Amino acid sequence: MTRTPSRTDASTTLTHSTSSFPAAPPPSPARRPRRYATALAGLAALGLAGCSLAGGQEESSSGEDASSASDSGGGEVVLVTHDSFNLPDEVRSGFADETGYTLTVLPSGDAGEMTNTLALTQGSPLGDAVFGIDNTFASRAVDEGVLAPYTPKDPPAGVDDRALPGELADYLTPIDFGDVCVNIDRTWFEREGIEEPASLADLTEPEYKGLFVTPGASTSSPGMAFMLATIAEFGEQGWQQYWTDLVDNDVRVVSGWEDAYTVDFTAGGGDGDRPIVVSYASSPPFTIGDDGVPTTKALMDTCFGQVEYAGVLEGAANEEGAQAAVDYLLSDAVQEALPESMYVFPVAQDATLPKEWESAAQVAEDPLDIPATTIEANREQWVSQWADIATG
């Protein structure tokens, strides 16, 4: 996965694109202080921040509020998350065993909705720590002053490879990563005798008319990531024409990942009629057939890299507990639970992956990318332009 270019560049050339966008200004100094019955049931939860796995609020068993935490541990830590957050009970309870704090999880919508809510409650945060701000919203979270500076003292190898550029890294710690990619139903294309598409440009060709479904950029973070992939690929001058061509080729735009994958996709477990869908590079392992081969495939030249981060909320009632929560998300227990629980790759490079992932899950070698600060500076305009074309 390519490292985000430095914010200090005068301009930034986007990966796979000859076009350049002006780099957004750095944060003000005042502000510095995916998922299937067994497999499909999990996939249905992927709707986004990175998707939408249910991670219901876990009530504190201590009866103490966050303000009761002491230097020696104890008390409650409230972790604000996107709705995709999901870890095994034994991993969640391991936090209390290791730190003495009780973990309460507060799901708060997808990544965008969660970040917006944190911005609106800046200074009076909903919790102590946050997990699930991704690279498309990271700059906004820092600019809005919702985060307190904190970096783990002894992070595992691999964390630095996914770090945000410059001062952003002082506020947000990488926890997991994955690639949002176009996926195809290999079985459908073989049966119909149609050549499989391989690139974003292929999706506008006549032979793929009426075959593609994607979640919307304004309602889903995989949809947002796909829109950003097209901007990175075709540049400021070409991406809107590309979407016009997709619409002319009868692309179907739905509200979220779950509808796109489990309802409209031919390999999604329902009665779908679209063999091309926006999903994840980690989706194919959950379609492995009796022959040990996935029936679906991610098109690796269409991927947009996504990294999810954790941080301490400014004004946290239990700041030390929040720091402990960020540290715990980098522990072996959490990192090795991420693939099967949230269908993302752990940032710790020594974490053990499930057997199926070793053979069928891929990481894009050169994913499409736009710097977080550039996304923040242009997000509202881009989504508005996208909506004018894709949803009328």
Q: Are strands 173-185 and 20-22 parallel, antiparallel or unpaired?
A: unpaired
**Averaged pLDDT of the chain:** 82
CATH number of 27-177+306-352: 3.40.190.10
Residue 7 has pLDDT above 90, yes or no: no
Give the side-chain half-sphere CA count within 13 A for 56.
Answer: 2
Length in residues, the chain: 392
Quick one: pLDDT at residue 73? 57
Residue 67 has pLDDT above 70, yes or no: no
Fold: same for 27-177+306-352 and 179-304+376-390: yes
First and final C-alpha spacing in the chain: 34
Instruction: Delimit the domains of the chain by residue range.
Output: 27-177+306-352, 179-304+376-390
Q: How far apart are CA 338 and CA 175, in angstroms?
A: 9
Q: How far apart are CA 166 and CA 7, in angstroms?
A: 7
pLDDT mean over 108-119:
87
**DSSP per position, 251-312:** -EEESSHHIIIIIIBTTSSS---BSEEEEETTSGGGGB-TTSSBSEEE-GGG-EEEEEEEEE
C-alpha distances in angstroms, 206 versus 194, 210, 245, 246, 247?
A: 12, 9, 10, 10, 12
Q: What pLDDT digit, counting tens, does each position of 83-99 carry?
A: 878 899 999 999 999 99
Q: How far apart are CA 371 and CA 12, in angstroms?
A: 8
C-alpha distances in angstroms, 75 versus 56, 63, 139, 309, 326?
A: 20, 8, 31, 24, 16
- Among residues 342, 24, 368, 21, the alpha carbon closest in space to that of 224 is found at 368
Quick one: pLDDT at residue 332? 97
State both tokens at 377: 């500076």
Alpha carbon dihedral 351, 356, 357, 360, in 10-degree steps, equals 160
Reported confidence tier of residue 136, pLDDT bands at 50, 70, 90: confident
* 118 phi/psi in degrees, rounded to 5: -65, -35
Q: Note the CATH architecture for domain 179-304+376-390.
A: 3-Layer(aba) Sandwich (3.40)
* 197 phi/psi in degrees, rounded to 5: -70, 160
Q: How far apart are CA 267 and CA 349, in angstroms?
A: 31
Quick one: pLDDT at residue 256? 84
Instruction: Tell me the residue type at 265.
Output: F
Quick one: pLDDT at residue 110? 80
Q: 0.85 cut: is pTM over it?
A: no
Q: How far apart are CA 384 and CA 374, in angstroms?
A: 16
Least confident segment among 10-24, 242-256, 273-287, 354-368: 10-24
Q: Count other C-beta atoms under 10 Å from residue 74's C-beta.
A: 17
